[in-house]
Amino acid sequence: MRYSEARQGRIFVVRLEDGDVVHECLEALARAERIRAASITLLGGMDQGSHLVVGPKHPRAASVEPMSRAVSDVREVVGAGTLFPDEQNSPVVHVHMACGRDDHTLTGCARLGVRVWHVMEAIVVELIDTEAVRRLDRATGFQLLWP
């Protein structure tokens, strides 16, 4: 385990609108407002045609091969995530979502493109006094958080 301490900064209340791509909008917000790091909470609707990363194809393989799912219907969403810069100081959102319809739920990472169905709400809590950064881990291909 690795950790560091941060303090809470500004809080942004965000309404994402129909057709918005979640991670693209939140990364744009970070650039516009100069948010270096944040905690993110989301809820709302996900549109058909959205894509999720739903796990590794082989759990303990030498290299990670992600599985993805395209969503063919509209779903209710609750999500949580973080925003930290990569090694080039670009904001990177890492959000996982549980997306349900009727009695079926699909859970995964939103990095492949989740589109908003009508509306999605986000609370973005800025984290300050942290030097945490995402660095590429060559073994997994993940951009790991280095607090």
For the stretch 23-73, pLDDT in tens is 999 999 999 999 999 999 999 999 999 999 999 999 988 888 999 999 999
Three-state SS string over 62-102 comes to CCCCEEEEECCCCEEEEEEEEEEECCCCCEEEEEEEEEEEC
Domains of the chain plus CATH, in order, are 8-146 (3.30.1330.80)
Instruction: Specify whether the CB–CB gap between 108 and 23 falls below 8 A.
Output: no
Q: Check residue 59 and report its DSSP letter.
A: T
pTM of model > 0.85: yes
DSSP code string of 106-120: EEEEGGG-PBEEEEE
The pLDDT tens digits for 75-114 are 999 999 999 999 999 999 999 999 999 999 999 999 999 9
**Which residues are registered as beta bridge partners of 89?**
none
